[in-house]
């Protein structure tokens, strides 16, 4: 799971929600922060934060809820 963003408050909140969802589901997943612009630009997004699961952009431009993140894994 990749969290795309500069490390702003919204990005940190997104990471927290992703980690909470992973914990609640009892699954194992590596969470990686991607903050380098050249790496972020490799994805088809217009705004951050964004969440990428297995190479697929699941959400961008807003902070997902924990429930939304959980749906990405089910």
Helix count (H) and strand count (E) of the chain? 3, 4
- Please give the Cα distance from 14 to 32 (Å, whole number): 12
Out of 8, 27, 32, 47, pick the active-site residue. Answer: 8
Given 11, 18, 50, 52, which residue is catalytic?
11
Judge whether 69 and 25 are in contact, CB under 8 Å. Answer: no
16 catalytic? Reply is no
**Which residue bears the tokens 């939304």?**
68
69 in active site = no
Which residues carry out catalysis?
Answer: 8, 11
């Amino acid at each position: 799971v990749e969290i795309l963003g500069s490390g702003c408050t919204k990005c940190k909140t997104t990471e927290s929600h992703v980690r909470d969802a992973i914990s609640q589901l009892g699954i194992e997943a590596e969470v990686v922060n991607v903050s380098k612009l050249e790496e972020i630009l490799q994805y088809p997004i217009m705004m951050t934060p964004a969440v990428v699961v297995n190479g697929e952009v699941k959400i961008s431009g807003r902070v997902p809820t924990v429930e939304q993140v959980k749906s990405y894994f089910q």
